[in-house]
Structure formats: C-alpha cells, structure tokens
Amino acid sequence: MRMLKTAAAGAVVLALAATATACGGSSGTAGDKPAGGDVYSGTYKVATNVKVDSTVLKKAQKAKKIVIGVKADQPFLGFKDPATGKYSGFDIEIAKMVAADLGFSEKQIEFKTIDSNVRETTISKGDVDYYVGTYTINDERKKQVGFAGPYYTAGADLLVRKDDKAITGPETLKGKKVCSIAGSTPLQEIKKPKYGAQTTELSKYSDCVKYLLDGQVDAVTTDDAILKGYAAQRPEKLRVVEKPFTKEPYGVGMNKDDKALRDAITKALENHIKNNDYKKAYEGTLGKSGSKYVAPETPLPTY
Ligand code: GLU
C-alpha cells in the first residue's frame, strides 16, 4: 500500500511512462485515434477591426497569429492526429470560435499542447495567449490566471476495465490503484484519505489509460467528458462507472491581469452559444462519445 507521493517516486513513474510511450507498450496506443467517425471542424465568421485594449491581444495582432494552449490526447475534446498533426475536438472548436471573434482565422492559430501540470505557469509566462483544455475554474487557480466561462460542466468519474465489477463508485476504491495526472483537480480529490486509494501520478491521461489496459492500475480518474472519449475508443475493453463525484466547470484560461481580454472572450463565448455554433460543435464532437448536451447559462459570470 505504497503511495507514490514524493517527487522522486513521481519521477520514476513519469520515466516509466515515457519508456512505455517510446516502446509502444504492449496494449497499443491509447489516445492514438479520435474514434467515432469523421472529425468535426466548424468555420466561424472572423470579426474585422477588433479594438480591444488588451496587451495580450495587441501582441497577437502584431504577430498576426494567436497562440492557444490545448490538450492533444483527449479524443472528442482536444486531440492531435499523429498522422496529420491536425487538432480536433470540442475544446478546439471553442478555441476557434473565440479566435474568430478576436479577429483571427483558423490559419492564424498556432495550437500548443500544454499538459495540466504546467497550465498556470505557461499562461502566466505568456507562452500562450489563452488556454482551452478541460480547465476547471476554481479559486486556487483564480489566484494565478483569469477565466472566462464556464462553457461546460463535467464531473470527476472513474474509467475501469470492462470486466471489473468490483469498482462501482469512488467509495469502492479502498486499496485500489488509481491513476490520474499531476496538477488535475480529480487527482487532488482522489488523494483524500476517505477514499483509501493508492494513487499513481502521470503527466498524460493517455498514459494512465495504457496503465489500465496493461493491468498496472485498477482505475483512471478524471472528468467524465474525458473518460467517455477513451471508453468510446475501446468499448470492448473499457467502461465509465458513471457516478460523477465532483463538479468541474470548464473555463478559458488567460493572463490574470488582462481584464479586457477576459471580457472579450466572455462575450465571444456568449455570442457562439446564442447563435448555435456552440451546439453544432458540441454535437459534432463531445456529443459523439455520449456526453449529454446541456446548454450553458448566459450571461456568463464575470470573475
Ligand atoms: N478538469 C480537471 C482539471 O482541470 C481535470 C482535467 C484536466 O486535467 O485537464 O484539473
């Protein structure tokens, strides 16, 4: 019953994960294909003459490109096709809608893959102009970054092997090995002593899924929206328990001090929720992995 808690132990696990990735792993490549047929890609009307008093935006306008942090291994949400290098998914569509209202076409977007554990530092340093990647809005993070949203609300859930009947909810995790990723809210939750789980911390969810398929862990925990994408890739092997045990409101993350950018992004989200772009994108992406559509409430709050 050893908890992989210390930095040294965590480093070992990360190194093992890197080896597994490099060698291909025995169970193949979790997160290697989008699953569910065609990849949805919407086009959004690009606003002209955008005048927003935002430092971040002015820099992007000068460079004639906008840099957006996203995920690359979450099917239906933020997924990079290894063959084409093209990103797809619901978060990618949200990123594109916002970019259009800020005056940037799809061609002017540079997507950067940023893992959960480095989101706050990457945003604060200005390495991305904004971030769209299953990013839960919470008070702790609000101390470091600004948020617009929520544009979707997920909940932490469990992904298990299909033949596992023992895990039926978070209360059945005593002594079980549970994988999640560093810097994520579901990991913080599952580490609470009340669950009695042994945690393995990696930096990518797709590596947790490999561990689950290989039998090195008993469950993976993160948002249901993410887990449903993995289950849809391998319905014969994996299932989601479907007992969400937290609330994860997703926001677009950005520089904490750039209020003008925050307001502009909030407005952009509201516009695309109202004109139905949001719903179409949802149905073409996340909706395909079985996450139910819930219209976000507008007007969105200001933080
Ligand atoms: N929404 C959760 C979070 O922001 C989990 C998903 C993720 O790591 O991106 O921590």
pLDDT in the model for residue 22: 34
CATH 3.40.190.10 residue ranges in the chain?
6-153+250-289, 156-240
Which residue, judged by its Cα, is nearest atom 6 of ligand 1?
134
Contact 278, 97 (CB under 8 A): yes
pLDDT in the model for residue 292: 87
Which residue, judged by its Cα, is nearest atom 1 of ligand 1?
136
For domain 156-240, give the CATH superfamily.
Answer: Periplasmic binding protein-like II (3.40.190.10)
Measured CA to CA, the distance from residue 56 to residue 49 in angstroms comes to: 16
Measured CA to CA, the distance from residue 26 to residue 24 in angstroms comes to: 7
β-sheet with 130-131: strand ranges across = 109-113, 66-70, 130-131, 248-255, 145-154
Contact 97, 272 (CB under 8 A): yes
| pLDDT tens digits, one per residue of 98-156 | 999 999 999 999 999 999 999 999 999 999 999 999 999 999 999 999 999 999 999 99
pLDDT in the model for residue 256: 97
pLDDT in the model for residue 303: 80
CA-181 nearest atom, ligand 1? 8
Q: What is the CATH number of domain 6-153+250-289?
A: 3.40.190.10
| pLDDT tens digits, one per residue of 207-220 | 999 999 999 999 99
DSSP annotation of 136 reads B
Measured CA to CA, the distance from residue 42 to residue 29 in angstroms comes to: 28
Q: Determine the distance separating the centroid of ligand 1 and the alpha carbon of 264, expressed in angstroms.
A: 24
pLDDT in the model for residue 30: 47
Q: Determine the distance separating the centroid of ligand 1 and the alpha carbon of 62, expressed in angstroms.
A: 32
Measured CA to CA, the distance from residue 46 to residue 80 in angstroms comes to: 24
State how beta strands 156-161 and 238-240 pair. Answer: antiparallel
All residue ranges of the chain with pLDDT < 50 are 1-31, 35-37
Ligand 1 pocket (Cβ < 6 Å) reads 116, 133-136, 181, 184-186, 222-223, 248
Residue 191 is encoded by which pair of tokens?
């580490």
pLDDT in the model for residue 79: 96
